[in-house]
Amino acid sequence: MPKLSQRKTHRWKKIALWSGAVLVVLLVVVFIGGNLFLSRGLPKTSGEMTLAGLSAPVQVIRDSYGVPHVKAKNEQDLYIAQGYIQAQDRLFQMDLSRRQASGRLSEVIGDSTVNNDKFFRTLGLRRAAEASYDQYTESGKAVLGWFADGVNLYMEELRKSNKWPVEFTLLGYKPEPWTPVDSLTIGKYMAHDLGGHWENQAFRQYLLQNFSEVEAYDLFPTYPEDAPFIISKAELDIEKSFASAVIPHEFNGSNNWVVSGDKTASGKPLLADDPHLGLATPSIWYQMHLEAPEVNVSGVIFAGIPGIILGHNEKIAWGVTNTGPDVQDLYIEKRNPEKEDEFLYLDEWEEATVISEPIKVKDGKTIDYDVTITRHGPILSEFAGDIGNNTVLSLKWTALDPSAELEAVLNMNKASNWEEFEKALEKFETPAQNFVFAAEDGTIAYKANGKIPIRKGNGLLPVPGWNDEYEWTGYIPFDELPRVVNPKEGFISTANNKVISDDYPYHISNHWAQPYRQMRIQEVLKIDDKLKVEDMQSLQMDQKNLQAQEFVPEFLSVLEGVTDERQKQALDVLRDWDYIDTKLSAAPLIFNIWMTKIPEVIFQEKIPKETLKLFQGQKQVVDELIRDALSGESGPWINKADGIAMVLKESLNLTLNDIEQTAGNKLEKWKWGDFHQVQFNHPLSSVSPLQYLFNSKGGVPTGGSSVTVQAAAFTRDGTVNHGASWRFVVDMSDLMTSYHLVGPGQSGHVKSKWYDNQFEEWIEGQYHQTTLSVPEGETLTLIPQ
């Protein structure tokens, strides 16, 4: 019997061994097969290929960072090639972007995006894009058409080869042909992403509905000059009205600055720009160099749009930050109880426009959906359902008017001096941006440019729409927009800060970013001279936290007598801090989380979390609440929380509880970077296990924070998902060379060597050079068919 048992054991071992070997072989086969399947969609980047519509050969050289340098003999060929090349690298992103902005995600994703689609159908970005097309000159329409031709030529190749990017295969659809309106719709989406503060008006109305006047006004950025019109909760429940609204990220903004030759080592201006948007794979930006006989321009563009929106040519350079103006107003509309499509205006019922917007849903029934548009704009409060008692809110917004920003971009690309560049800006209406400019001739300049309304009110609250007392009366004249040329200080900088003095005759905004980034930029630029490119790069990566420098000494003073041993240890760490948000230190971990817990203590159980999403200026307002309390003038919110000392104690306790849950209770081992980690997530990575395919790297420790020049805003779990989506520096003494960072990389193809090759470089601030001349690299020659 023992021998028989041994033979059985031996047999099972052999079976197990063979089964394991077969499994390994199968896994290897699946791995190889999967790699081959993914790799088959990689675009051709070298050799020759024919392309219909070209009149002459076009050379496309991708440098070592995957940046395409497109050289053509005429502009028709140039923009056909630009559309083709963008589609090679970013087709899925381009299609998803136009679907997002058009409210058509549910067609390919399913019912989880229906509310998103309802919001964007209501907003009407695509309708605005369609209306904008006729604002373009024939030459502008031609560029849009050529670009679309190039995109469609690439899609036609994919239809023949069936080698679609894997995302289309996973979602089970193929994209429709590209149109000029698709490009314009993506442009309109960026106006939405850079906001206009309608949600702040809604939030303030909510405050007046639910709190005393004193409590409500304590959270206003300024005190209302006149008594606002109050909508009762019975007439319109703000909390329910916007439960599913798509709110742009609170920290959408940027840094930019320009330094005159008097302060630089080269004797020529330096310009730096780093727009702060969502961090994702692929990047929101696509870097390119475009060259034809009358244009030679390098920089970045949103995938799906022709031209170069930010960058430089052989004579000038420019960059932007978000001005953040009040370009949106909510109007309170009174509905006719007898006829739901009529609204009161000047004592008469006026018929609104009703547009049918059926929403197709993947694996589901098409949803009948109507959008109602009053004289002021679409009714936003209805997309969430039937709410209110014959009272609704409509949105008036400059971006919903026809405009021709791409025309401005194309003219900017060819400008050779400040006068030509400023002339080009006349057509750049939305979104309003802070442009900084430098020229080879030594000129530096700034303009807050865009279409900014002049209104009778102050833009703080929704206003009655049934009379003409709150209508817009015009727009700030182009020649009277904030403007600076060659200032005596020798530099100009913006960081979404207040850009006007108190005596400026027009209203720009009630809402500005916290001032700390701008303060730090100016602190450095005022002191230093003989500046070089490397100094500009270092400043873009600067981690000095001036918010901490302001508040930590005050917090230490208030909490000097605490007896809790854990809190004492944390305060000792802060006491020895140099206020640098380095990833290796515990102090920035304690302070930055602490600043998120203070509003939790102040507003906890008083304002619903969903409603707080409308409070876009929360951080600035909370800073003011803290300052007032520290100076002995506590407002009602701090008083209701038992005073500033109790607020600080409770929020510090919550902070330490949170940190201990993830980092343990040994404070000496805590590091900011163990919590604060960047991830460039792919849109499909939220579907498990696709994150393992598309997010090739997990969270990687990084320094900085939302208030440092090296912007790195984070979510509750520490994920850094917002920051400098592109970093750019140029010395006007050598305009053939510029310095860039596009995280995580150029390509949208997961198997491309340029998919995430700039991930670590983005964290460390290691820039790559891009040239306006012919670089070395993989060369693809596009030949007329």
Under the banding of pLDDT at 50, 70 and 90, the label for residue 459 is confident
pLDDT at 609: 87
Neighbours of 473 (CB within 10 A): 8
Q: What is the mean pLDDT of residues 585-611?
A: 95
Residue in this structure with the two tokens 């000392």, named with its chain if needed = 645
Minimal CA–CA distance to 185: which of 99, 82, 308? 99
Q: Which segments within 471-511 are labelled E, that is strand? A: 472-475, 483-485, 491-494
Phi and psi at residue 460, to the nearest 5°: -85, -30
Whether the CB-CB separation of 699 and 605 falls below 8 Å is answered with no
Q: What is the mean pLDDT of residues 128-144?
A: 98
Minimal CA–CA distance to 79: which of 302, 225, 390, 291? 291
Q: Please give the residue that has the higher pLDDT: either 15 or 759.
A: 759
Express each pLDDT in 410-437 by its tens digit: 999 999 999 999 999 999 999 999 999 9
In the chain, the percentage of residues whose pLDDT exceeds 70 is 93
Least confident range of 49-53, 206-210, 353-357, 361-365: 206-210
Alpha-carbon distance of 288 to 482, in angstroms, equals 31
pLDDT at 28: 43
Under the banding of pLDDT at 50, 70 and 90, the label for residue 8 is low
pLDDT at 234: 74
Beta strands 285-292; 737-742: pairing state: unpaired
Q: What is the DSSP string of 187-255?
A: HHHHHHHT---HHHHHHHHHHHHHS-HHHHHHTSSS--SSPPPPPPTTT--HHHHTTT--PPPTT-EEE
Under the banding of pLDDT at 50, 70 and 90, the label for residue 667 is very high
Under the banding of pLDDT at 50, 70 and 90, the label for residue 79 is very high
Express each pLDDT in 151-202 by its tens digit: 999 999 999 999 999 999 999 999 999 999 999 999 999 998 887 689 999 9
Under the banding of pLDDT at 50, 70 and 90, the label for residue 468 is very high
Whole-prediction pTM? 0.93
Which residues does residue 782 pair with via DSSP β-bridges, in sequence order?
Answer: 49, 58
Q: What is the mean pLDDT of residues 742-766?
A: 96
Residue 138's SS3 state is helix
Q: Which amino acid is at 301?
A: I
User: Does residue 576 have a pLDDT over 60?
Assistant: yes
pLDDT at 383: 62
Distances in Å between the alpha carbon of 502 and those of 436, 498, 508, 516? 22, 10, 11, 20
Residue 122: its H or E element: helix 114-123
User: Does residue 26 have a pLDDT over 50?
Assistant: no
In the chain, the percentage of residues whose pLDDT exceeds 90 is 82
pLDDT at 29: 44
Q: Which amino acid is at 461?
A: L
User: Does residue 37 have a pLDDT over 90?
Assistant: no
Least confident range of 248-252, 403-407, 655-659, 698-702: 248-252
Under the banding of pLDDT at 50, 70 and 90, the label for residue 715 is very high
pLDDT at 698: 77
Q: What is the mean pLDDT of residues 639-648?
A: 97
Q: Please give the residue that has the higher pLDDT: either 698 or 544.
A: 544
pLDDT at 501: 87
Under the banding of pLDDT at 50, 70 and 90, the label for residue 605 is confident
Q: What is the mean pLDDT of residues 109-114?
A: 96
Under the banding of pLDDT at 50, 70 and 90, the label for residue 270 is very high
Residue 414's SS3 state is helix
Under the banding of pLDDT at 50, 70 and 90, the label for residue 31 is very low
pLDDT at 32: 47
Q: What is the mean pLDDT of residues 745-750?
A: 96
Phi and psi at residue 647, to the nearest 5°: -60, -45
Alpha-carbon torsion, ordered 535, 539, 545, 549, to 10 deg: 40
CA atoms within 13 A on the CB side of 115: 11
User: Does residue 503 have a pLDDT over 70?
Assistant: yes
User: Does residue 458 have a pLDDT over 60?
Assistant: yes
User: Does residue 672 have a pLDDT over 80?
Assistant: yes
Phi and psi at residue 374, to the nearest 5°: -85, -175
Whether the CB-CB separation of 726 and 308 falls below 8 Å is answered with no
Alpha-carbon distance of 2 to 25, in angstroms, equals 35
Q: What are the structure tokens assigned to 126, written together?
A: 């695509």
pLDDT at 25: 46
User: Does residue 572 have a pLDDT over 50?
Assistant: yes
The whole-chain average pLDDT of the chain stands at: 92
User: Does residue 14 have a pLDDT over 70?
Assistant: no
Under the banding of pLDDT at 50, 70 and 90, the label for residue 226 is low
User: Does residue 30 have a pLDDT over 70?
Assistant: no
Alpha helix locations (H) across 604-756?
609-612, 618-630, 636-640, 644-663, 672-675, 691-694
User: Does residue 11 have a pLDDT over 90?
Assistant: no
Q: Please give the residue that has the higher pLDDT: either 133 or 388.
A: 133
Alpha helix locations (H) across 664-785?
672-675, 691-694, 759-764
∠ Cα 742 748 754 (to 5°)? 55
Distances in Å between the alpha carbon of 714 and those of 5, 55, 427, 608, 706? 61, 49, 35, 21, 7
